[in-house]
Structure 1
Amino acid sequence: MIIQTFHDLTVELLAVLEDRTIAEREDKIERFTQLIDQRDALLSQIKPPFTFEEQQLGRATMLLNEQVDRMLSLQKLEIKRDIQEINKKKKSSNKYTNPYESLSIDGMFYDKRN
């Protein structure tokens, strides 16, 4: 049953997104990308008519999918925040290595004794 497999993949995807024990972010991203690709492949195969059981499973899957969407949004915000932090550190490190870079020098001298 395709809908059951889709539901199982959604449950697994939610578990991966909620799992805080995965140490490497890249591993986590790779795993949920695989699951999303598998779900996408199944999505094109889901066609009506649906039995009552399939409808119930579909509704449950839709609720899980909303949770998945929220978790993916949180992951996106976390990654965006980390990128901003890295850029800020890079900028402050640059200022430390070359502190006079941001000063504007226009080459003008003003003698006030005249």
Structure 2
Amino acid sequence: MPIQQIYDLTLQLEQWIGKYRQTEREDWIKHLQDLLAKRETFIQQQSKKLTDEERVLAVSLNEKNEKINQSLLAIKQDIVNDMTAFKQRKRTVNRYRRPFSGPTRDGMFLDKRE
């Protein structure tokens, strides 16, 4: 009965998403990928014909999947925001270290020759 296993893995996935912390992001993502891969194998094994009990579980699975997708989108946005902030910090540090390497903002020309 793969649908029950899919449902159990979906519950584990939902609980794991609730444990998301920015500080332990890499390990969290690895475990998330493992859970998704396991669930994917069971989904591929699932037959097209469902019994009445399995249909009830399938409806519940759809609702949980939507919640999981929303949570994952929020986490993705958090990661994108961190990446953007990192790039901005990197640019700022480079400008501070080499202030005359790029074009100036005020149009001033500096002759590098002596």
Using the size of structure 2 for normalisation, the TM-score is: 0.85
1:14, 1:68 within 8 Å by CA — same for their partners in 2? yes
**2:101 alignment counterpart:** 101
Q: Deviations over 1:69-91 (max 9, x none)?
A: 11111111111100000000000
Over the aligned positions, Cα root-mean-square deviation in angstroms equals 1.8
Instruction: After TM superposition, give the deviation of residue 103 of structure 1 in Å.
Output: 3.0
Instruction: After TM superposition, give the deviation of residue 22 of structure 1 in Å.
Output: 7.9
2:7, 2:57 within 8 Å by CA — same for their partners in 1? yes
**2:44 alignment counterpart:** 44
TM-aligned CA distance change 1:103 to 1:48, over 3 Å: closer
Larger Rg: 1
User: What is the CA–CA distance in structure 2 between the aligned matches of 1:101 and 1:55, rounded to whole Å?
Assistant: 64
How many residues get paired?
A: 107
**1:17 alignment counterpart:** 17
Instruction: Structure 2: state its 5+ residue gaps.
Output: none
1:22, 1:28 within 8 Å by CA — same for their partners in 2? no
> Percent identical across equivalent pairs?
27
Secondary structure, in 3 states, of the residue corresponding to 2:45?
coil
